[in-house]
Structure 1
Amino acid sequence: MSWQPEVDEIKYRKELAQRMGGKERVQKHRSNGKLTVRERIDVLLDRGTFHESGSITGKVTYQNGEITDFTPANFLLGTGEINKRKVVIGADDFTVRGGAADGAIIVKQVYSEKMANELQLPMIRLVDGTGGGGSVKVLDDIGYPYVPVNPAWDLVVKNMGTVPVVAACLGSVAGLGAARVAASHFSIMVKEISQLFVAGPPIVKFGMGEEVSKEELGGVQVHRSSGAVDNIAESEEDAFHQIRTFLSYLPQNVFQVPPVIDSDDESERREEELIFVIPKNRRRPYHIRKILPMIFDKNSIFEMGCYYGGSTVTGLARLDGHPIGFLAPDPYVHGAGLTAESSQKIERFVDLCQTFHLPIVNLVDQPGMMIGLEAEKKGTIRQGVRAISAIYQATVPSIEIIIRRVYGVGGAGMSNGHGLNLRYAWPSGDWGSLPPEGGIQVAYRRELEASEDPQARLQEIMEDIESHRSPIRTAEAFGIEEIIDPRDTRPLLCEWVHNAYELLPQLLGYSTHTMRP
């Protein structure tokens, strides 16, 4: 006897599952400008590579042994490829019970995390629903209240230290769904279709008395600079492009070296503009995002968290085809000072590089930690110390290029001064415990008060200090190891990155401290 009838039965159930929540709900979903879950998977993955697991999982009603009703689980999982490298993908189907967990058959979600962990493959979550306990109707259905448990959270935490985890917020995402977005190395929202919150407007109105729309409560305009997600996409297609780009810099897991590609950019490229780019007037800012392409491989810069902690720019790039992480200042935001937000951003980003063995290039123009009442209210000193600690704990190869200021505790913490402290300075380097412009008033207060002409005396003191302020004076005492022509920065970094990658095999495996979101 043949097993064909059973094979036909499986095929029939797969066809039913392909209908998702049904024609009407699928149409409504698309009318909101959103792709269906299966369309999303097709766009994100390399064509034809998706292998679905649990494709016929669902809630079935039988009569006389025949199927009378079939509702597929609203969570899809499987493996596929991105740029010919295998990944695990778990995706919510909002057309079935709004993506809530009570329609998901939760073991599928748990299985996806377990699959990523044990196969040591990147985990991609396409989140479009609450992902939690669903409606309070569950209480009526099961007859008793349950103590909440975050499903697979042990694996969620373990994956953060084992494989790259990416999450996309692709709808109104609340509760555990929002937590699944945040528990990632890279997260993204999409304009107009994404909202992220702990609880939605009805619960907020009941609990807090605040009446707000979904967009007002958790739309892109809220989370662009909240720090809850990393990047914002113009469309779903843009979000998937960013996901593919992010993963291209990272290894499959912590036991591999980041993937090196062939570069068509000259490693010896010297950009003439670099000799002019830092103004001699120290009070004038400059555009750091114009400098980055002059140093890193062309078209290789992928910035993360642009709008959060904006005084520090963080991102991924390549040097002669080798992936690296970079930190850089933006003097147009708080003068590039170390704020509470930028400190959190640095800490998380350095931990990302440490986890996946990405060498770090630190372009330093750090005037120190932010001061003033608002900075104190935010506990800036504690956040700053956490960022500095992350830098000191990192064991991946790192290099510091001082492009202008290094002042105070914040400036000193931009590299581990007790290690090799591999660093180079541009002639625009300017450093000390305090900027002289502000410190003179304190250090010479009595002398200035006793002077018949305080302003003239202040000018004399400034001129005397300025005569000793040249970074070349510091180099004479080996207080700075080397001052370089800014145009030599890229060739120097390209030489360094090859050495750095020779050291990486010794560092493979779990980091001494597992990364947290």
Structure 2
Amino acid sequence: MPRDEEPKGWGPEVEALDARRARMRQMGGEANIARHHARGKLTARERLEMFADPGSFREIHPFSADAVYDGEELVEFTPKGLIEGSAKVRGRKVVVTAGDFTVKGGSGRGTRGGLGQEIGSAKKALQWRLPYIRLLDAVGGSVRGFEALGRTYLPDGNDYIAPEVELLQEVPVASAVLGSVAGLPAVQAPMSHFSVMVKGISQIFPGGPPVVKAAFGLDITKEELGGDQIHTRVSGCIDNVAATEAEAMEQIRTWLSYLPQSRDEMAPRLETDDDPERREDWLLEAMPKDRRKVYDSRAILKAIVDRESFFEIAPLYGKSRITGLARFNGYPVGIMINNPRALGGATDAHAGAKAMRLMQLCDLFNLPLISLADEPGFLVGLESEKQGIERAGARMVSTVCLTTMPWCTVVMGRLYGVAGQCHHRASGMFQRMAWPSANWGSMHIAGGVSAAYRAEIEAAPDPEARRLEIEARLTAIANPLRTAEATGQDIIDPRDTRARVCEFVEEAQRVLLRQLGRSRMAYLP
């Protein structure tokens, strides 16, 4: 356009929009961005660009800011500390938020509310039935905000956090912790179906080291207080850990690929060239005949699922149960297996919590559940009692009974007591198969004999010989074929496991179609 020609129509106004967008992209300014990069972290907009399919991000509230005017002239401008929008991830639409730590520590407060306020990201995800992804790098409230507000306030944030709780019942929700996250954002991190943090740069806590120092006089670093070694191993607040931000985002993309857009839809099937009839001969020897020997649970699991399809969730927490997502003939499933290399495979309160989260996820989002069982029972002992193993067991039994998704259990070894009962469901589409290596009952024969036959053993001339005699007698009748003769239990060649589970999962699809959106679960983090 020639310089002496006046712009036509609304050209000047569009140029003003472009200028405002350019200012928003500057976030907290060059100095704050430089400090952020110096900590080894990406900015919020760099993260969005990395996470989303190229060119697919569409910002919600693109002009939200704290602005000061002198008449019509803009004299001061601070973008909000939370970037919200929709994007595509591997071609699928999601809603995504990113805390911008370069502005007010990533706090989204200060730009909320007001007459005529457009809906935020959580409500959009809920109304549009889209997965919801948080890229968290933010603190909560600050006393600095009191001065700007001119007063303090009553904590009443549940009016805008309630949609995020409702989201957990409707669409897949994932959180990536990408910095030091405190206050409400720290609670939002586990308020999800899947969470991941980055080693070295991520921490979560209600209040950071200065708050701890003021409360207890204790000097502690951010990493010691809320790093990955605490939250992916001890507390279980965060599921997975990643080495880099890029890996954390790839974990979320992979996790999402197993799930539907919402509870009202079927999970997507992927084409595979892995033969459903594939047999692994070494499975005949996978379970050692010597019950004292351990084996590789992950190797068994990976041998029967579609090749390279297993995605593990919370590998460092509740280690006696391995849980995750996988595929059989391209269909996504939830899958779990006891791990004898941790606590002998016994279910403690932590492993039980992890298994229940998987059950809830499968039930809510229409995934069949596959359980590979070698269950010695709930963990006994003083430490287990301190964890409240009885209440954990009660919750686990209740969760099992409330589920409705198709469920297939393959009994590879032990199946004892109430914990063994939690690998079975009396209603809905359920199938149980067993390997010849399986054995079951109310408890292990060796331990049970000492309790049930105590008087007889103590009265014998040779108590040890009598104990061994009773154990041998009971072991002889523990052959799984005796159970099969009486109950019709199906006992299969371990090498046929993949084919049988593939058949089950395919049959489950038509059952799932009838159950869409009908889960009885209330998903609680």
User: d(CA) in 2 for partners of 1:129 and 1:505?
Assistant: 40
User: d(CA) in 1 for partners of 2:430 and 2:506?
Assistant: 18
Contact 2:405 2:428 in 1 (8 A): no
Instruction: Provide the secondary structure at the position in 1 that maps to 2:133.
Output: strand
Give the drift of 1:140: 2.6
Determine if the alignment matches structure 1 residue 113 to structure 2 residue 128: no
Deviates more, 1:365-374 or 1:232-241: 365-374
Structure 1's consecutive aligned runs of 4 or more residues displaced over 6 angstroms after TM superposition are 106-110
Determine if the alignment matches structure 1 residue 426 to structure 2 residue 435: yes
Give the letter for the 1:341 counterpart. Answer: H
Determine if the alignment matches structure 1 residue 449 to structure 2 residue 458: yes
Query: Can you give the 5+ residue segments of structure 2 that lack an aligned partner in the other structure?
Result: 1-7
Residues 70-109 of structure 1 aligned to structure 2 (within 5 Å): 70-103=77-110, 105=112
Instruction: Provide the secondary structure at the position in 2 that maps to 1:187.
Output: strand
User: d(CA) in 2 for partners of 1:387 and 1:464?
Assistant: 33
Contact 1:364 1:414 in 2 (8 A): yes
Q: How well do the aligned residues superpose, as a CA RMSD in angstroms?
A: 1.6
Q: What do the CA deviations read for 1:365-419 (whole angstroms, capped 9, x no partner)?
A: 1111111111112110111121121111110101110010011111112211466
Give the letter for the 1:380 counterpart. Answer: I
Instruction: Provide the secondary structure at the position in 2 that maps to 1:249.
Output: coil
* Aligned counterpart, 2:255: 246
Instruction: Provide the secondary structure at the position in 2 that maps to 1:326.
Output: strand
Instruction: Provide the secondary structure at the position in 1 that maps to 2:318.
Output: coil
Deviates more, 1:164-173 or 1:136-145: 136-145
Q: 2:318 is matched with which residue: 303, 309, 317?
A: 309
Give the letter for the 1:207 counterpart. Answer: A
Contact 2:404 2:428 in 1 (8 A): no
Q: What do the CA deviations read for 1:221-242 (whole angstroms, capped 9, x no partner)?
A: 1112111011111100000000
* Aligned counterpart, 1:336: 345
Q: 2:190 is matched with which residue: 174, 182, 186?
A: 182
Query: Can you give the 5+ residue segments of structure 1 that lack an aligned partner in the other structure?
Result: none
Contact 2:82 2:107 in 1 (8 A): no
Instruction: Provide the secondary structure at the position in 1 that maps to 2:491.
Output: coil
Instruction: Provide the secondary structure at the position in 2 that maps to 1:404.
Output: strand
Give the drift of 1:434: 1.4
Instruction: Provide the secondary structure at the position in 2 that maps to 1:89.
Output: strand
Instruction: Provide the secondary structure at the position in 2 that maps to 1:449.
Output: helix
* Aligned counterpart, 2:496: 488
Contact 1:275 1:487 in 2 (8 A): yes
Q: 1:234 is matched with which residue: 227, 234, 243?
A: 243
User: d(CA) in 2 for partners of 1:110 and 1:218?
Assistant: 33
Q: What do the CA deviations read for 1:165-223 (whole angstroms, capped 9, x no partner)?
A: 11111110011011111110111100011010011111111112322111110011111
Inter-CA distance 266–106: structure 2 relative to 1 (3 Å threshold):
farther
Instruction: Provide the secondary structure at the position in 2 that maps to 1:493.
Output: helix
Determine if the alignment matches structure 1 residue 387 to structure 2 residue 402: no
* Aligned counterpart, 2:413: 404
Give the drift of 1:119: 0.5
* Aligned counterpart, 1:215: 223
Q: What do the CA deviations read for 1:276-300 (whole angstroms, capped 9, x no partner)?
A: 0100011211110111111100010
User: d(CA) in 2 for partners of 1:407 and 1:342?
Assistant: 16
Give the letter for the 2:190 counterpart. Answer: A
Q: What do the CA deviations read for 1:283-335 (whole angstroms, capped 9, x no partner)?
A: 21111011111110001000101111111111000000000001210011111
User: d(CA) in 1 for partners of 2:217 and 2:118?
Assistant: 34
Instruction: Provide the secondary structure at the position in 1 that maps to 2:83.
Output: strand
Q: 1:280 is matched with which residue: 256, 272, 289?
A: 289
Deviates more, 1:96-105 or 1:451-460: 96-105
* Aligned counterpart, 2:5: none
User: d(CA) in 2 for partners of 1:143 and 1:39?
Assistant: 35
Contact 2:84 2:121 in 1 (8 A): yes
Give the drift of 1:124: 0.5
Q: What do the CA deviations read for 1:85-111 (whole angstroms, capped 9, x no partner)?
A: 100011110011111233554789960
Give the drift of 1:345: 1.2
* Aligned counterpart, 1:373: 382
Instruction: Provide the secondary structure at the position in 2 that maps to 1:503.
Output: helix
Contact 1:110 1:152 in 2 (8 A): no
Give the drift of 1:448: 1.5
Inter-CA distance 321–172: structure 2 relative to 1 (3 Å threshold):
same
* Aligned counterpart, 2:172: 164
* Aligned counterpart, 1:474: 483
Give the letter for the 2:405 counterpart. Answer: V
Contact 2:335 2:370 in 1 (8 A): yes
User: d(CA) in 2 for partners of 1:413 and 1:12?
Assistant: 60
Give the letter for the 2:60 counterpart. Answer: S
* Aligned counterpart, 2:273: 264
Contact 1:230 1:304 in 2 (8 A): yes
Contact 2:137 2:179 in 1 (8 A): yes
Give the drift of 1:514: 2.2
Tell me the matched-pair count.
Answer: 514
Give the drift of 1:69: 2.8
Contact 1:90 1:109 in 2 (8 A): no
Inter-CA distance 84–420: structure 2 relative to 1 (3 Å threshold):
closer
* Aligned counterpart, 1:2: 9
TM-score scaled by structure 2? 0.95
Instruction: Provide the secondary structure at the position in 2 that maps to 1:61.
Output: strand
Give the letter for the 2:75 counterpart. Answer: T
Inter-CA distance 106–347: structure 2 relative to 1 (3 Å threshold):
farther
User: d(CA) in 1 for partners of 2:300 and 2:351?
Assistant: 20
Contact 1:336 1:367 in 2 (8 A): yes
Instruction: Provide the secondary structure at the position in 1 that maps to 2:378.
Output: coil
